[in-house]
């Protein structure tokens, strides 16, 4: 039986790798995707994803989500400008997917779209969160237990707990939490079972020049491989580690996980992850196998 998942993403370059890995996996069923403000704005992210999924020959419903964080004052919290440009334009993918066209979009609002995708299914769904947690926080706030009880678990890429962050000024926060700290705090303390994939674990899967050179020499025949190869070869420090592909990979092969820690977490107004004595159901991934991750990545390329 296929594992049913729902994806929430800000559509960065490494998000696209993650989504491509999952969309090509015969044991995964993607029930829907929502986009959120982050490395792209939600509408641009939706347009790009529709072009990518069309290239891959996959039909998955997409809805554009939150344009703004929970607190409007956080709008000043942004990824580096060049990273936003690279993820929004995807000029390095033009020869594969063409120029993305403006989507006709969904008539449903994103909150109803998420609710229907998850709550109208008799079985529980896993949600993979690859961007700021604004969309998920808003749906939790609106629907409460009607929604949360239908979630099997949240797999979240975010946070820097026992290691420095990647937000350039402070090095304390990780970008997904930094862009909407209030949403991150609400989701982490929602009581939903959470698998958290922080920078602590992503540091075990660096996007090295050696790996890029090795991948550039491969000659993938399948569309998924060609797409992933293009993104990795085009990477110019847009992502220094395989953040989102790691989060996706543990859904495909949980044996990639080598060590975990049960923990309570909160997030302060600067987006910094802080441990607490709360009994939250957060399973922090602290160590992963680089060899197993790379082997999975190579399989998707070939």
pLDDT in tens, 192-217: 999 999 999 999 999 999 999 999 99
Q: pLDDT by residue (tens digit) across 174-187? A: 999 999 999 999 99
Q: How far apart are CA 147 and CA 299, in angstroms?
A: 35
Q: Which of 256, 271, 252 is nearest to 204 (CA)?
A: 256
Residues 33-62 have a mean pLDDT of 96
- Residue 87 has which token pair? 């993820």
Q: Structure pTM?
A: 0.96
Length in residues, the chain: 302
Residues 6-26 have a mean pLDDT of 97
Pick the CATH number of 3-301 from 1.20.1250.10, 3.40.50.1370, 3.40.50.2300, 3.90.245.10: 3.90.245.10
Q: Angle formed by the axes of helices 134-143 and 110-119, to 10°? A: 70
Q: How far apart are CA 9 and CA 40, in angstroms?
A: 10
Q: pLDDT by residue (tens digit) across 226-235? A: 999 999 999 9
Query: What pLDDT score was predicted for residue 104?
Result: 53
Q: pLDDT by residue (tens digit) across 140-167? A: 999 999 999 999 999 999 999 999 999 9
Q: Which residue is listed with tokens 């998850």?
A: 118
Radius of gyration of the chain (CA): 18
> Where exactly are the structural domains of the chain?
3-301
């Amino acid at each position: 039986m296929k594992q049913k998942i729902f994806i929430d993403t800000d559509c960065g370059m490494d998000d696209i790798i993650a989504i491509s890995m999952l969309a090509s996996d015969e044991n995964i069923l993607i029930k829907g995707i929502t986009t959120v403000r982050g490395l792209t704005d939600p509408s641009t992210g939706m347009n790009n994803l529709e072009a990518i999924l069309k290239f891959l020959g996959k039909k998955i419903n997409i809805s554009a989500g939150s344009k703004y964080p929970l607190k409007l004052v956080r709008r000043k919290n942004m990824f580096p400008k060049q990273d936003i440009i690279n993820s929004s334009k995807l000029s390095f993918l033009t020869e594969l997917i063409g120029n993305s066209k403006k989507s006709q979009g969904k008539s449903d609002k994103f909150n109803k779209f998420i609710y229907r995708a998850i709550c109208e299914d008799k079985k529980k769904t896993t949600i993979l969160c690859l961007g700021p947690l604004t969309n998920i926080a808003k749906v939790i706030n609106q629907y409460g237990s009607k929604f949360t009880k239908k979630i099997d678990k949240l797999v979240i890429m975010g946070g820097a707990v026992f290691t420095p962050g990647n937000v350039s000024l402070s090095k304390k926060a990780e970008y997904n939490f930094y862009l909407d700290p209030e949403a991150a705090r609400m989701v982490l303390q929602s009581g939903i079972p959470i698998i958290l994939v922080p920078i602590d674990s992503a540091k075990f899967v660096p996007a090295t020049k050696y790996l890029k050179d090795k991948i550039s020499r491969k000659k993938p025949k399948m569309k998924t491989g060609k797409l992933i190869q293009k993104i990795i070869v085009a990477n110019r420090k847009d992502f220094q580690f395989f953040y989102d592909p790691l989060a996706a990979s543990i859904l495909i092969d949980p044996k990639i996980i080598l060590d975990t820690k049960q923990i309570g977490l909160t997030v302060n107004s600067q987006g910094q992850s802080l441990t607490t004595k709360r009994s939250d159901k957060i399973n922090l991934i602290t160590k992963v196998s680089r060899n197993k991750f790379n082997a999975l990545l190579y399989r998707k390329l070939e």
